[in-house]
């Protein structure tokens, strides 16, 4: 018996997150033989006393159950947690949260209610689109001559060779080998990105830095000279916009490089930095325990000194009217991705978001968060990323984990729960902009995860020597097609990590950061990604903001649905993760008249091929949940 489901409008209306001031109707159904004489909703806004709402008897539900109901209006944004109590012939009985948002008697878990600011809006230009992530040194090289390149770098002559991974003579990993990818090279490849259906290009750091990853910023005001100059950046953004592609850039604001114009530990820059002089205007940005050699640094890396983000001088430098955030939006960027958002104080994110929106109300502010961002706690503080005034959305690692878990043999119900839990917790305007990736510069390549042997605790030497065997690669490619199909169908925006669509392999950093294999792509896989991009464009009215439900998640079969209720149209995705054929019946779905959009035809055929999938479009009113 279902006593209450937080995900079903029969029991909670509306479901999901709500704006503050919205009335929510709660209903529970209880067995008549419990002799319930009173029932209560107990709801607590975090940090506030619990509130009780008496529920009222509202009639019978069949012959042996009864309805109890009440309304609740959350007065302000925040996280609320709730459960129910009933006075019964067996004493006070508690209804708490069980699996899949369903109620159980007993237990201590509560349901989460996310309440966001009334009027909270996010940019519309990304809705229904496709993102593409580029590691700038490794995507495309124009051959443009560069001047004034900083000292201390080495350069690969062979574009296709492996990145350096061995420590130097002092035993340090320096990340100072470069392949020479640049902004003009990216601009030259914009027609290629357009062919994939890309609408948003996300660039890893582009500012002057002295490592190939550029997360050790040396000068926020300058493009790294190996990438080009500010005019190259503006030209890239303008050319991309003509093709319907926006550009967002990486903001690394929790730390700088020690080898920077601000800290200047290595003495590269002529003006004294915080390491050299306590009179430096940048000195207050940093926390020295014993100046100059002992200071707070990012995860103990002395090359990455932490900054005090709320120090007035630093905050003005980044978020002021003429600060870094607004400057690069003026130069052509359409938004920022915030590195390690959980290490940025709330006040700093507030200021950054306000600065970005003041410069461009349509600017995107997206954060790196690896967990459920709606209830994330960091350094003892519950974060309010998605409640309005901070992030528009986040990187979506939970969906990545769910996709890989399903394809590698986990219980399919865990996939359904992971997806539906995020949908239940994230405001819809954030949900629809989620950066749904299955690989990034911080993770192993998707093809390697899906086809290769897990690296586990093995070191760089083992990882460097690995390539997929022909059999492993065949399996990995089959699973990657399925992973991408799921990724492109889920709520949010799929993000392709450069080269995944071409069949790049690689374990952890730096092996996941090889150069794009121009002229050596896996053409079949590339065609699959182009078909997925075309699907996103053709069915944007469904995928941009359409509802989601899991129709089947058991054994080797996953069936999910995206639907636009007003248009009366739906997309159904059928996935067989097995190397054996998989029946899709019984499913209680009438597929007559369904149009094949992608994959293999079904119709009268009710068996999916090994590692098969099918996307069907149904032009009718949506059936109720089976």
Q: What confidence tier does 402 reach under pLDDT thresholds 50, 70, 90?
A: very high
**If you ran DSSP here, which 8-state letter would residue 515 be given?**
P
Whether pLDDT at 626 is above 60 = no
Chain segment 198-250, per-residue pLDDT in tens = 999 999 999 999 999 999 999 999 999 999 999 999 999 999 999 999 999 99
Encoded tokens for 174:
């320096």
* C-alpha gyration radius of the chain: 26
Tell me the mean pLDDT in the region 16-43. 97
pTM of the model: 0.96
User: In the predicted model, what is the mean pLDDT of the chain?
Assistant: 95
Whole-number percent of the chain with pLDDT over 90:
92
Chain segment 143-155, per-residue pLDDT in tens = 999 989 999 999 9
Tell me the mean pLDDT in the region 408-437. 98
Angle, helices 412-425/397-407, rounded to nearest 10 degrees:
170
Chain segment 342-372, per-residue pLDDT in tens = 999 999 999 999 999 999 999 999 999 999 9
Cis peptide before 14 (omega within 30 of 0): yes
In contact, 130 and 196? CB cutoff 8 Å: yes
Distance, CA of 383 to CA of 373 (rounded, Å):
8
Chain segment 79-120, per-residue pLDDT in tens = 999 999 999 999 999 999 998 899 999 988 999 999 999 999
Give the residues across from 5 on adjacent strands.
Answer: 102
In contact, 578 and 556? CB cutoff 8 Å: yes
In order of 320, 395, 464, 468, 508, the CA distances from 512 in angstroms are 36, 18, 10, 14, 6
Q: What confidence tier does 606 reach under pLDDT thresholds 50, 70, 90?
A: confident
In contact, 223 and 233? CB cutoff 8 Å: yes
**Residue 604: predicted pLDDT:** 60
Q: What confidence tier does 590 reach under pLDDT thresholds 50, 70, 90?
A: confident
In contact, 574 and 608? CB cutoff 8 Å: yes
Chain segment 445-475, per-residue pLDDT in tens = 999 999 999 999 999 999 999 999 999 999 9
- Residue 161 Rama label (left phi>0; alpha psi -120 to 50; beta): beta
Positive or negative torsion for Cα 180, 182, 186, 187 = negative
Of residues 155, 164, 166, 323, the one with CA closest to residue 251:
323
Distance, CA of 74 to CA of 94 (rounded, Å):
22
Q: What confidence tier does 513 reach under pLDDT thresholds 50, 70, 90?
A: very high
Tell me the mean pLDDT in the region 18-41. 97
Q: Map 112-163 to HEC letters.
A: EEEEECCCCCCCCCCCCCCEEEECHHHCCCCCCCCCCCCCCCEECCCCCCCC
Q: What confidence tier does 625 reach under pLDDT thresholds 50, 70, 90?
A: very low
End-to-end CA distance of the chain: 16
Whether pLDDT at 21 is above 50 = yes
CA dihedral 133, 470, 579, 451 (to 10 degrees): -40
Whether pLDDT at 592 is above 80 = no
What are the residue numbers of the active site?
339, 368
Which phi and psi angles does 587 have, rounded to 5°? -130, -5
Tell me the mean pLDDT in the region 582-596. 80
């Amino acid at each position: 018996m279902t006593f209450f489901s937080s995900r079903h409008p029969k029991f909670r209306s509306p479901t999901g997150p709500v704006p503050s001031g919205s009335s929510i109707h709660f209903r529970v159904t209880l067995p008549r033989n419990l002799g319930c004489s009173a029932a209560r909703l107990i709801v607590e806004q975090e940090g506030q006393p619990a509130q009780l709402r008496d529920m009222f008897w509202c009639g019978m539900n069949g012959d042996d159950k009864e309805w109890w109901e009440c309304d609740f209006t959350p007065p302000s944004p925040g996280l609320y947690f709730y459960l129910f109590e009933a006075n019964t012939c067996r004493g006070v009985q508690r209804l708490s949260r069980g699996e899949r948002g369903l109620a159980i008697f007993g237990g201590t878990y509560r349901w989460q209610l996310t309440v966001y600011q009334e009027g909270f809006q996010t940019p519309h230009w990304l809705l229904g689109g496709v993102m593409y992530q580029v590691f700038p040194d490794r995507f495309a090289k124009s051959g443009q001559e560069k001047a004034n390149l900083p000292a201390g770098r080495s350069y690969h002559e062979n574009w296709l060779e492996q990145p350096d991974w061995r420590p130097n003579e002092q035993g340090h990993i320096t990340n100072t080998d470069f392949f020479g990818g640049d902004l003009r090279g990216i601009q030259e490849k914009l027609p290629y990105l357009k062919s994939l259906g890309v609408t948003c290009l996300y660039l890893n750091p582009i500012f002057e830095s002295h490592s190939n990853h550029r997360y050790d910023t040396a000068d926020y005001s300058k493009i790294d000279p190996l990438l080009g100059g500010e005019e190259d950046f503006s030209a890239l953004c303008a050319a991309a916009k003509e093709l319907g592609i926006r550009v967002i850039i990486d903001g690394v604001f929790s730390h700088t490089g020690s080898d920077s114009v601000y800290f200047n530990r290595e003495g590269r820059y002529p003006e004294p930095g915080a390491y050299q002089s306590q009179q430096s205007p940048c000195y207050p940005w940093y926390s020295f325990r014993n100046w100059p050699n002992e200071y707070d640094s990012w995860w103990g890396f002395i090359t990455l000194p932490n900054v005090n983000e709320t120090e007035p001088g630093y905050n003005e430098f980044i978020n002021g009217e003429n600060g870094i955030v607004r400057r690069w939006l003026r130069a052509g960027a359409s938004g920022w991705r915030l590195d390690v958002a959980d290490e940025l104080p709330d006040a700093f994110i507030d200021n950054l978001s306000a600065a970005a929106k003041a410069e461009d109300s349509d600017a995107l502010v997206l954060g790196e968060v690896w967990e459920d961002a709606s209830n994330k706690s960091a350094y003892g503080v519950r974060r309010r990323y998605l409640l309005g005034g901070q992030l528009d959305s986040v990187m979506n690692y939970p969906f990545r984990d769910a996709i890989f878990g399903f394809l590698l043999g986990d219980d399919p119900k865990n996939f359904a729960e992971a997806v539906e839990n995020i949908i239940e917790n994230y405001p819809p305007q954030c949900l629809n902009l989620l950066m749904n990736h299955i690989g990034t510069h911080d993770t192993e390549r998707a093809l390697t995860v899906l086809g290769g042997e897990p690296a586990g605790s093995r070191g760089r030497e083992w990882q460097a020597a690995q390539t997929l065997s022909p059999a492993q690669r065949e399996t990995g490619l089959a699973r990657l097609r399925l992973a991408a199909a799921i990724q492109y169908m889920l709520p949010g925006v799929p993000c392709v990590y450069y080269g995944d669509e071409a069949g790049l392999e690689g374990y952890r950093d730096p092996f996941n950061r090889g150069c794009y294999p121009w002229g050596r792509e896996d053409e079949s896989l590339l065609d699959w990604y182009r078909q997925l991009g075309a699907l996103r464009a053709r069915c944007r009215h469904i995928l941009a903001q359409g509802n989601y439900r899991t129709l089947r998640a058991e054994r080797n079969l996953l069936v999910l649905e995206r639907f636009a209720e007003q248009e009366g149209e739906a997309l159904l995705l059928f996935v067989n993760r097995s190397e054996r054929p998989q029946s899709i019946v019984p499913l209680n779905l009438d597929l007559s008249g369904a149009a094949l959009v992608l994959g293999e035809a079904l119709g009268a055929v009710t068996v999916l091929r090994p590692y098969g999938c099918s996307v069907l479009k149904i032009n009718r009113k949506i059936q109720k949940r089976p």
